[in-house]
A and B are shown apart, each in its own frame.
Chain A
Amino acid sequence: MQFYKSDLLKYISGSISDADLIEKLTELGLEVEQSKKEKNDLLIKLDLTPNRGDCFSLIGIARDVCAMNNSKLKLPKFKKQKQNLDSKKTVAIDKRACSSYQGQIIKLKSKGIIPAYIKKTLKAADIGQVNPIVDITNYIMLHTGQPLHAFDNKKIGKKIYVKFPSKRTKLKLLDGASHEISKDYLTISDEKKIIALAGIMGCANSEVDETTQEIFLESACFEPASIRGNARKLGFQSEASLRFERGVDREIQEYAINFAGQLYAEIFGGEFSTIFKQSRQHKAKKIMISKEFIDSRLGTEIPATKIIKLLKALEFKVESKRNLMELTYPSHRYDIEIKEDVIEEIARIIGYDNLPNKRLKLLASCPENASIEKEMLSKDIFVNAGFNEVINYAFVDSSFIQMLGLNNDPIELTNPMSSNQDIMRPSLLPGLLNNFEYNFNRGTQRFKIFEAGNVFSKEESWKSLAGLLFFDKSSSDWSGSHQSSFFDLRKSLDMFFSRLNIEPAYKKASINHLHPGLSAEIKLKTKSIGNIGVLHPAIQKKLKLPNIVLFEINLDSIKLPKINSIAQPPKFPGSERDLSFLVSVEIPASDFIKELKKAGGTNLRSVSVIDVYQGKGIDESQKSMTFRLFWQASGTTLEDKEVDLFVANQINHAAKIFKAKLRS
């Protein structure tokens, strides 16, 4: 809603400075989106919330300002025009959809010329001039909030029906476009045809123009429920539908038609018929509310007299009944339905800044959400490990996903912003790869980035955590200690798992987007929880990317660590042995270690790999692995003989399981 201050001041007594008015409007909840000084006036643009349909009119806005000012709304009175035009019309309405319909036939005596003040009001509201007949209807709508419609009376019949059509119908509206409407559209019809979509727009078949000599002026109240959404379905919104969807004052129809009568008489000169009326008895809504309830919800002590005065200024009817107030809602406020709505009115007029504040003492104790905690912990760990967090959009390009081979039944958006954001991400990796490309092209040479967030398939969504590692060779410095191999990223992941107190296994696997020899599936017991590896060389080539290492794990499949007891470390000295085995290159170290542990007795504390060798001196199908084993008992010093026994056992076991030979 956009208007000049001078138009608003017609309804307000006393003067008010520009700054004061803007502040008042804002405090009333009528947000001033823009204000602009123009000549001796101020152009104000309000950003109205959808509940305040009544403020799509100057009178409505002025009413609020007056209530806050504690002054009386200045409402000009319009007399009925002399009704001596003998012309007849009958009106029949669907009373559920239309609470009141009033119409008057006006015979225009001359060609009207729109005065400057009307032009100014229309211009402020950004409503273009159409012709003098229509301009007057728009002018009155801006003042009263009542959309009027002028039909060319020669183009319509004697009978006017407000009704829903019996079948789908094609029609041409005033905007020149043809539309097909369903039976849900309330129409204004005569004996033969639809002449307007009620509350939305008139039809071309009854349009007024410069040559129109006699109009049928409609001032009606259509129910919001019968209008709502219908204009939008046709792809537009009209000034009328904007107001009817939010609710037009149920009692302003006659005021508006008389207002119009005066202007048509002034500008055109005219003869007027009687006003043809149909209406349903509208029972104004009432509610009982107590001062105590108001105070209990606002935390206030407001005197009852103040409440009553304030509500009356907003045109509520107030009757005191014992300890309660019986309120009758004003006819222009569709948004007020319950007690809390009344409380809002009181708070709004008093001003929220003037209400008290009180310390909340409530302490509710519910268990913390583990999933949020886990996400935060994961972020902490990776940030501490030197990773930079990124946050990507949750929608990605389906063709990119397909190219990466990540296609796990993605879920498509019906209305994406663009074709490269058409599906919900099934993985965080596309985002990380985009981040890589963006930053690599801008000169970043070292990448340790990660993201935590939801990923989606058609059936479910889960929390994912993914990371990317890449150091460009030219980024290395004199220390030469930075590398970005598979194992460098795995080290970070190992640390993460160890912080979460889990020990998943890395199993060789074939994963579409990863290098088959430099990748692993990450398994927790039998469950796959993610993967890690070097980006597949074929993808590297296609995307012109270097040797990037990536991982992604399903955070939902990991539990937060349980609290363990902390055991006292053994006090007695331990025993260390190194063993070298020759074994097939196919045997993973992790499997070998598992078997060494099995055969090493309960006092075997650790097994580490201190050397792996393949090459000269060893058959191609074999590798040499050297393990360092450490035994320690908790209650006694282990004797060499005991350890020898375990070692012998391990050598036999390894020979049996892996055909491993001890190297001398």
Chain B
Amino acid sequence: MNAIEFILAGMLAAATPFLLAALGEMVVERAGVLNLGVEGMMALGAVIAFIIVYHGGGHVLGFVAAGLASAILSLLFAVIALGFRANQVATGLAIGILGQGLSALFGKTYESLTVTGLPKLAVPGLSEIPVIGGLFVQDAAVWLTLAATLGIWAVFAYTKVGLVIRAIGENPKAAHAIGYPVIAIRVAAVAFGGAMAGFAGAYASVVYTPLWADGMIAGRGWIAIALVVFGTWLTGRIFLGACLFGAVSLMGLAAQATALDVPSQLLSSLPYIVTIVVLGIISADRRLLKLNGVASLGEPFER
């Protein structure tokens, strides 16, 4: 297997935690809320799923519990940032710190233990194609994530739910004036984002790696938040961005395999450096951000 085949085969799996968390955050931001606690929500989801799978609860239960736990943590964010109208940046940071602390606390006795991941499912025929065939051999969670991506895209493109979320993000006062319960819908969006972050964490700890180590999320939650900006709040572009980051994180491994004389620390920081560079390039296009951005992002809603 050469480097390109290696990256193509592994890219989607590596992209999945980014994708799940970023899509969740996209929905939250589309509704006008900035929840910076993704890293902590992912960590909590990761440890919960790991504990359940480790004790034989199975992957399905693991994912469900992870989604629930992170959604509950995100509801705490919602109560404080939306209910008490606290500064969303500070509240998100606090949720992040709390989530990481809880994950370390719960995971203390599981440090460095491993579980079995999920089996790969191949698409007959397509997976036989040379070079790109690896793209069609993925585990069930990846396939479900791809389906969820398509679903979220369709919700924003075709349904009234998507329309309402966009309307609330653009102008909550007007949405309230025509009778939409702004806070309730924002809370629902935040909870959805929390659940997605929980799934993302679960995928990292019980499918992708699959082991538990304190700090294993390693900035992926933050990169997911950056991905929402890269993707200019659009599902398709966020998907492409997540694939890019999946590929970048594999490049480190591929480069080590080829025994290039690059310090491993440089390879480890590659995703962060790429984030900084891409963030600079995309953000510099102020028109683009303004056109696709969410007008009320981060502002508390007050009648």
Asked if A pairs with B, the answer is no
